[in-house]
Chains A and B, each alone.
Chain A
Amino acid sequence: MLIETFHSGVVGRGLERRVEMASGGTPGGPASDNAGPADAGTGSADGAGGGPILVVRHAAKSFGAVQALVDGSIELYPGEAHALVGENGAGKSTLVKILAGVYQPDAGALLMEGQEVTLHGPAMARAAGIAVIYQEPALFPDLTVAENMFIGRQPLTTGRRIDRRAMRKEAAAIFGRLGVQLDPARIARGLSIADQQVVEIGKAISLEARVIVMDEPTAALSAAEVERLFDVVRTLRAGGTAVLFISHRLEEVFELCQRVTVMRDGRQVLSRELAGLVAGDLVRAMVGRELAERPVEEHGTPGEPLLAVERLTREGVFTDISFTVRGGEIVALAGLVGSGRSEVARAIFGVDKYDAGAVTVRGNRLRRGSPTGAMAAGVGFVPEDRRQQGLVMDMSVQQNVALASLGRLRRGGLIRASAERGLAADWAARLKIRYGRLKDPVSMLSGGNQQKVVLAKWLGRKPSVLIVDEPTRGIDVATKAEVHHLLTQLARDGVGVLMISSELPEVLHVSDRILVMREGRLMAELAHADASEEKILSAATGQAEGDG
């Protein structure tokens, strides 16, 4: 289950809205909640009450033997925010890349304003009026905001020289229309992700994009920034632009969007107005079955405290964090994105430094900033970013599994190839990793199997404390369950597990204790028996219980 059902500042209101809609509130349809004079001057270029501006009909795309997209269909109406939801692997990303012109569909059609188009590259997509804002915008840090927006198309004055003033004015005008305050003359370096997104949106507007696709835009934003983004989207809608909003956070979907398309296994399974739907309907469509409550696995009795974190502080990032993890228990660190959880974990493991406090493993104080020390004390760390931090993509499966155990595989200073192979094969079997040959580059494996390789790397060291950061992000359902089972098994074997997760169901399902962080501080500790999504939510958003 990939629902993030909490979001700060929106919980209370969001729930109210849902109730409103469920009881037959504002009806759906194109530009429906824009009824009124605001529409008059800025209506869609398509004409009043016109048809969809962008239609994807039965698009299909395969990569080799794998069909990433089987039947992708979607209709975007001008002035509407349209949500695209689905589990990872459902085909959303492929569909987006087709819209972006990065991929060309094997089958199916793309219609822009009724005309069929083939987009042979991002430039053509842009020319057709489609702009895509990715989760991590790609700006030019050394150029100004205005230049970033207008690169390649800067307004010119006599002699084909760039007219800087006109460029700044245009950029300022666009920002004004969007209702954001951003200085077009400052350089892009140092802009927050939220501001970078705004620049990208501004660029899209300057390109007169009719369709703006936002791929998980809120993942890295704070509450205030999300609100600002939503206001921007509402302004875009008022101007007739169609916004395609991809998100896992159903709260946001209900707050912002008018229409939703659900994808599952490469197909569109649902596409209709949001009015009348509740989150459960979407979940059902995404998963395709009623989620049977999985029996909670037996958690053993926890043993000795293995990891003790005392008053850990890093200025500006986290403050006064103290907790223990005992052998045999799984402690979850929950909270919103930006609450500092990954930073705490990295500080414990030594990849980052901290300013005050202490970390002890089995009574021995760890030296700060030393991953080697942490590893020697028996700590393992599965990082958040599998591809950049967890694996060396160019190396083989075998080499990746062995990477943290090189010392142990050594005899007389040399790595024993047979020992290395044995380690890799053994763990691949235990974790049921699907691969071609051990020598294959790990980049050939699927996301779930790649994550298992990272786990194998650490489990091969027989850690006494294992820290996992977002263990099942971007993994298919089946492998997810396997990973959860594995973590529980580890705990049963006496390992102390610290799990960071943004997925509440996962947190509730797997952990013995839940620590909730908010803006760098520990706000609450909940035992498994007492915990509920609402309680975690409240602590994570700083609301008193009973508000939502």
Chain B
Amino acid sequence: MSTTLVSQSERPPAPAGTGARRLTERVFRIRESGIIVVLAVFVAVTASVQHRFLNTTNIAFILVNTTVFALLALGETMVVISRNYDLSVGSVLGLSAYLSANLFGQHHGFPIPLAFLAGLGIGLGCGLLNGLMVSVGRVPSLVVTLATLYIFRGIDILIVGGKEVVANSLPQAFLNIPKATVLGIPDLAIAIAVVIAIGAYYLRSFRSGRELYAMGSNPDAARLAGIGVGRRVFIAFTVSGAIAGVAGVLWAAQYGTVDSTAGTGYELQVISAVVVGGVAIFGGSGSAVGAALGALLLNTISSALYVLGISPFWDQAIWGFLLILAITLDRFISVRLTAALRLRGARHE
């Protein structure tokens, strides 16, 4: 029943500490930098074969493509860290993309910032619904957001009908948003990077952010500790929805044409990006930066395959394989780490 190794000597326990801390930090750094390493390897290999992979246009292209997913990854990270799942992000994105883009068609000269606000609002509303049901109804978020995935998509389809928003109904300034660059780096990528940095900082340095980690790490203890679990969950989903809403508007700016299929299937891609990026599937650990890197990695792979002339059809298989590799690795690390930490704790006795 005892979980400690009983030592032979009767000396009182000595500092069970710094060794463990160093070990954990080392492991986490490996995990987080692991993605960077894989990314670097991919880029290096591809660039060595195909030099144009590393030219500014291509890099800009990859970065812009990643922005939507990186944003979604940020919202999803907040949710997954607390041991929840938001499967509705793809549908929210689609709904927001169409409705906000449509504003331009319906109202000539519609101000662009207002379109973003509209997208935000739509996402916020959807997220609010999710948050309410999960927090008040005490229903598993996997099931709730599976349902809203259907419902939001269905609403989107009803609204869109067979129509679509075409690029030339959108103001040029709007369509130029993804194209604007400074020193070759897309403004959008910088902006999103800043947003992600803010998000990551929030999760790391603010009480409510830490509470999300606590909820994922040990939900029962979180409740016992007096953490307002319901409120945190509600806010996490609302924010995730709002972010998806904004991502929708960006999506419209990038692709120009929006129909009822926008965003289909994104939720599972985002969750895989997040897991590859180091967020534990059961919550409790991981970072927004890692998740964004996961999104970047996935996009880079697609682009690399294209540039290398490998059929893009390999994309999905590689991504699936990477995901399985990531979770296997995480499990391996976690088991080893726990054992090592226990050993260190006991060894000091």
List residues 221-248 of chain B with CB under 8 A from any CB of chain A.
221-222, 224-227
B337 at the binding interface (Cβ < 8 Å): yes
- In the assembled complex, the Cα of A9 lies from the Cα of B349 at a distance in Å of 16
Residue of B nearest to A385 (CB): B1
- In the assembled complex, the Cα of A285 lies from the Cα of B295 at a distance in Å of 67
Residue of B nearest to A183 (CB): B17
Chain B residue contacts of A192, Cβ below 8 A: 3-4, 16, 342, 345-346
Docked-complex contact A190 and B2, CB < 8 angstroms: no
Residue of A nearest to B280 (CB): A142
Docked-complex contact A225 and B13, CB < 8 angstroms: yes
B207 at the binding interface (Cβ < 8 Å): yes
Docked-complex contact B4 and A193, CB < 8 angstroms: yes
Chain A residue contacts of B218, Cβ below 8 A: 138-141
List residues 1-48 of chain B with CB under 8 A from any CB of chain A.
1-8, 10-18, 20-21, 24
Besides the contacts A152-B227, A519-B8, what 16 more A-B pairs have beta carbons closer than 8 Å? A138-B218, A140-B221, A143-B213, A143-B214, A151-B210, A151-B227, A161-B206, A162-B205, A180-B13, A189-B338, A190-B20, A192-B342, A193-B3, A195-B16, A220-B1, A519-B6
A182 at the binding interface (Cβ < 8 Å): yes
- In the assembled complex, the Cα of A126 lies from the Cα of B285 at a distance in Å of 27
Residue of B nearest to A138 (CB): B221
B284 at the binding interface (Cβ < 8 Å): yes
- In the assembled complex, the Cα of A102 lies from the Cα of B152 at a distance in Å of 40
Docked-complex contact A186 and B225, CB < 8 angstroms: no
Docked-complex contact A139 and B2, CB < 8 angstroms: no
Given the contacts A185-B21, A189-B337, A223 and B2 also touching, CB distance less than 8 Å:
no
Q: Which single member of B13, B206, B210 contacts A160 (CB below 8 Å)?
A: B206
Closest CB in chain B relative to A157 CB, distance in Å? 9
Chain A residue contacts of B338, Cβ below 8 A: 189-190
Docked-complex contact B6 and A338, CB < 8 angstroms: yes
B340 at the binding interface (Cβ < 8 Å): yes
Closest CB in chain A relative to B60 CB, distance in Å? 34
Docked-complex contact A338 and B2, CB < 8 angstroms: yes
- In the assembled complex, the Cα of A415 lies from the Cα of B222 at a distance in Å of 43
Chain A residue contacts of B341, Cβ below 8 A: 186-187, 189-191
Docked-complex contact B20 and A183, CB < 8 angstroms: yes
- In the assembled complex, the Cα of A498 lies from the Cα of B11 at a distance in Å of 33
A339 at the binding interface (Cβ < 8 Å): yes
C-beta contact mask, A315-332 vs B, less than 8 Å → 1, else 0? 010000000000000000
Total interface residues in chain A, CB < 8 Å: 50
C-beta contact mask, B309-349 vs A, less than 8 Å → 1, else 0? 00000000000000000000000000001111110111001
B264 at the binding interface (Cβ < 8 Å): no
Chain A residue contacts of B16, Cβ below 8 A: 181-183, 191-192, 195
- In the assembled complex, the Cα of A192 lies from the Cα of B341 at a distance in Å of 9
A373 at the binding interface (Cβ < 8 Å): no
B156 at the binding interface (Cβ < 8 Å): no
- In the assembled complex, the Cα of A139 lies from the Cα of B220 at a distance in Å of 10
Chain B residue contacts of A221, Cβ below 8 A: 2, 4
B217 at the binding interface (Cβ < 8 Å): yes
Docked-complex contact B12 and A224, CB < 8 angstroms: yes
Docked-complex contact B1 and A342, CB < 8 angstroms: yes
Docked-complex contact B20 and A186, CB < 8 angstroms: yes
Can you give 8 A-B contacts (C-beta < 8 A)?
Answer: A140-B218, A142-B213, A143-B210, A186-B21, A186-B24, A221-B2, A224-B11, A519-B8
Q: Which single member of B24, B284, B345 contacts A195 (CB below 8 Å)?
A: B345
Chain A residue contacts of B225, Cβ below 8 A: 151-152
Q: Chain A interface mostly helix, strand, loop or mixed?
A: loop
Residue of A nearest to B4 (CB): A192
A93 at the binding interface (Cβ < 8 Å): no
Docked-complex contact A151 and B6, CB < 8 angstroms: no
Total interface residues in chain B, CB < 8 Å: 50
B86 at the binding interface (Cβ < 8 Å): no
Residue of B nearest to A141 (CB): B217
Q: Which single member of B3, B284, B339 contacts A140 (CB below 8 Å)?
A: B284
Given the contacts A162-B205, A186-B24, A228 and B13 also touching, CB distance less than 8 Å:
yes
- In the assembled complex, the Cα of A143 lies from the Cα of B227 at a distance in Å of 15
Chain A residue contacts of B4, Cβ below 8 A: 192-194, 220-222, 225, 338
B76 at the binding interface (Cβ < 8 Å): no
Q: Which single member of B2, B15, B20, B344 contacts A181 (CB below 8 Å)?
A: B15
> Contact residues of A with B, CB < 8 Å?
9, 122-123, 126, 138-143, 147, 151-152, 154, 156, 160-162, 164, 180-183, 185-187, 189-195, 219-225, 227-228, 316, 337-339, 342, 384, 519-520
- In the assembled complex, the Cα of A151 lies from the Cα of B205 at a distance in Å of 12
Chain A residue contacts of B18, Cβ below 8 A: 183, 186
B267 at the binding interface (Cβ < 8 Å): no
Given the contacts A122-B226, A183-B16, A162 and B214 also touching, CB distance less than 8 Å:
no
B259 at the binding interface (Cβ < 8 Å): no
Residue of A nearest to B8 (CB): A519
Q: Which single member of B205, B222, B227, B344 contacts A190 (CB below 8 Å)?
A: B344
Docked-complex contact B345 and A191, CB < 8 angstroms: yes
Q: Which single member of A142, A152, A220, A316 contacts B2 (CB below 8 Å)?
A: A220
Closest CB in chain B relative to A262 CB, distance in Å? 26
Closest CB in chain A relative to B9 CB, distance in Å? 8
Docked-complex contact B1 and A384, CB < 8 angstroms: yes
Q: Which single member of A151, A181, A193 contacts B14 (CB below 8 Å)?
A: A181
Residue of A nearest to B343 (CB): A190
Chain B residue contacts of A224, Cβ below 8 A: 7, 10-13, 349
Chain B residue contacts of A220, Cβ below 8 A: 1-4
Closest CB in chain B relative to A127 CB, distance in Å? 9
Given the contacts A126-B226, A162-B207, A183-B15, A339 and B6 also touching, CB distance less than 8 Å:
yes
- In the assembled complex, the Cα of A225 lies from the Cα of B284 at a distance in Å of 29
Chain B residue contacts of A138, Cβ below 8 A: 218, 220-221, 224
Chain B residue contacts of A141, Cβ below 8 A: 217-218, 284
- In the assembled complex, the Cα of A475 lies from the Cα of B23 at a distance in Å of 44
Closest CB in chain A relative to B334 CB, distance in Å? 8
Docked-complex contact A337 and B1, CB < 8 angstroms: yes
Residue of B nearest to A132 (CB): B224
